[in-house]
Structure 1
Amino acid sequence: MAGLVACNPDKRREHWENVCTTIFPESGKVGAYELTQEEVGRIVSHCYNDMSAEIQTCSLYLSIFPKGCKISRKHLMRRWIAEGIVCEKDGLGVDVIAETYFNHLIRRKIIQPVEHNGNGKVKKCVVHDMVLELIVKKASEENFITVIGGNWLMQLPSSKVRRLSIQDNDSKHAKDTEKMNLSHVRSLTIVGRLKKQLSSHSFGIVQVLDLEGCKDFKQHHITEICGMFLLKYLSLRKTDAKQLPDKIGKLKNLETLDIRETGVVELPKAVCQLEWLVNILGGDKTTRKALKLPEDLKKKMKALKILSGIEIVEKSSDLRHLTKLRKIAIYKLKTLKSDPTLEALRSSIEYLGGCSLQTLIIDDESSDFVKSLDGLSSPPRFLVALELSGKMIKLPNWITKLSALNKLTLSLTALRTDNLEHLSKLGSLFSLTFCIRANQQDREILAIVAENKMYSKGVIIVPAQGFESLKLLCLSGPLLPILRFSSVAMPELEKA
Structure 2
Amino acid sequence: MSMQHVRSLSTFCPEGQFKLLDRLKEFTLLRVLDLEGCKDVKNHHMEQVCRLFLLRFLSLRHTDVTEIPCEIEKLQHLQRLDLRETLLGGAPQSLINLEKLEILDLSNRNNWRVLLKLPKGLRKMKALQRLDRFELGDDAEVAKEIGELVQLRHLGIVLIHSTEQVRESLAHSIGKITSLHSMTIENIGGSNMNFLEGLNSPPQILRAICICGAIDRFPSWVESHKQLADIYVYNTGLHGDQIFGVLCKLPNLVKLSLDKYSYTDEQLCARTEFKFPVLKMLFLVPDYGTPKVVRFEKEAMARLEKLTMRYSREDRSLQGLEHLTSLKELKLQGIKSNEALRREVDLARTESKTREKSKQFLVVVQYE
In the superposition, the TM-score normalised over structure 1's length comes to 0.57
Superposed, which structure 2 residues align to 1:404-415 within 5 Å?
A: 404-411=227-234, 413-414=237-238
- Counterpart in 2 of 1:181? 2
The Cα shift of 1:335 comes to: 4.2
Give the Cα separation in 2 of the matches to 1:488 and 1:472: 16
The answer to whether the aligner puts 1:366 opposite 2:174 as a matched pair is: no
Q: Which runs of 5+ in 1 are unaligned?
A: 1-179, 437-444
Report what 1:86 is aligned to: none
Structure 1: distance between partners of 2:11 and 2:268: 51
Q: 1:475 maps to which residue?
A: 284
What's the C-alpha RMSD, in Å, of the aligned pairs? 2.0
- Measured in 2, the distance between the counterparts of 1:280 and 1:409 equals 22
Distance 1:366 1:264 in 2: 23
Q: 1:470 to 1:376 in 2, by over 3 A?
A: same
Following superposition of structure 1 onto structure 2, how do residues 326-405 of structure 1 map, counting pairs within 5 Å? Answer: 326-330=153-157, 332-336=158-162, 338-352=163-177, 355-405=178-228
Hey, which of these two has a bigger chunk of helix by percent?
A: 1
Deviation of 1:369 (Å): 4.5
Kept in 1: contact 2:161–2:189 (CA 8 A): no
CA distance in 2: counterparts of 1:221 and 1:415, whole angstroms:
53
Q: CA deviation at 1:396?
A: 1.0
In structure 2, C-alpha distance between the alignment counterparts of 1:364 and 1:196, rounded to whole Å: 45
Q: Gaps spanning 5+ residues in structure 2: where? A: 308-368
Q: Distance in 1 between matches of 2:182 and 2:269?
A: 29
Give the Cα–Cα distance (whole angstroms) in 1 for the partners of residues 88 and 114 of structure 2: 10
**Corresponding residue number in structure 1 for 2:134:** 310
Number of matched residues?
Answer: 296
CA-CA distance at 1:280 after TM superposition: 0.9
Larger deviation, residues 283-292 vs 188-197: 283-292
**Correspondence 1:320 to 2:136:** no
Q: Is the 8 A contact 1:183 1:204 kept in 2?
A: yes
Equivalent AA in structure 2 for residue 425 of structure 1: K
Query: In the alignment, what sits opposite 1:131?
Result: none
Runs (4+) off by over 3 Å? none
Cα shift at 1:209: 0.6
Give the secondary structure class of the aligned counterpart of 1:197: helix
Report the CA distance between 1:415 and its aligned residue: 5.4
CA offsets, 1:142-187, max 9 Å, x none?
A: xxxxxxxxxxxxxxxxxxxxxxxxxxxxxxxxxxxxxx43221111
Equivalent position to 1:459, from 255, 258, 267: 267
Q: Offset of 1:253 from its aligned partner?
A: 0.3
Q: Specify the structure having the higher radius of gyration (Cα).
A: 1
Matches of 1:250 and 1:378, distance apart in 2? 38
The amino acid that maps onto 1:324 is Q
CA–CA distance in structure 2, aligned partners of residues 317 and 408 of structure 1: 24
Residues 95-144 of structure 1 show CA distances to partners (whole Å, capped at 9, x for unaligned) of: xxxxxxxxxxxxxxxxxxxxxxxxxxxxxxxxxxxxxxxxxxxxxxxxxx
Amino acid at match of 2:233: L
Identity of aligned residues (%): 34
How many Å apart are 1:294 and its aligned residue? 2.3
Deviation at 1:388, TM superposition (A): 0.5
Instruction: Report the counterpart of residue 247 of structure 2 in structure 1.
Output: 423
Q: Partner of 1:221 in structure 2?
A: 45
CA distance in 2, matches of 1:210, 1:417: 48
SS at match of 1:414: coil
- Relative distance call for 1:398 and 1:317 in structure 2 (3 A) is same
CA distance in 2, matches of 1:470, 1:407: 9
Q: Equivalent residue for 1:280?
A: 104
Distance 1:408 1:459, change over 3 A: same
* Offset from partner CA, 1:68-101 (integer Å, 9 cap, x none): xxxxxxxxxxxxxxxxxxxxxxxxxxxxxxxxxx
Greater strand share, structure number:
2
Instruction: Please state whether the residue corresponding to 2:169 is helix, strand or coil.
Output: helix
After TM superposition, list the pairs within 5 Å mapping 1:252-291 onto structure 2: 252-283=76-107, 287-291=112-116
TM-score (norm 2): 0.76
Q: 2:365 maps to which residue?
A: none
Please give the alpha-carbon distance, in whole angstroms, between the structure 1 residues aligned to 2:40 and 2:77: 27
Report the alpha carbon displacement of residue 431 of structure 1 after superposing the two structures with TM: 0.7
What is the CA–CA distance in structure 1 between the aligned matches of 2:305 and 2:137, rounded to whole Å? 41
After superposition, residues 96-111 of structure 1 pair within 5 angstroms as none
SS, match of residue 243 in structure 2: helix
SS of alignment partner, residue 220 of structure 2:
coil
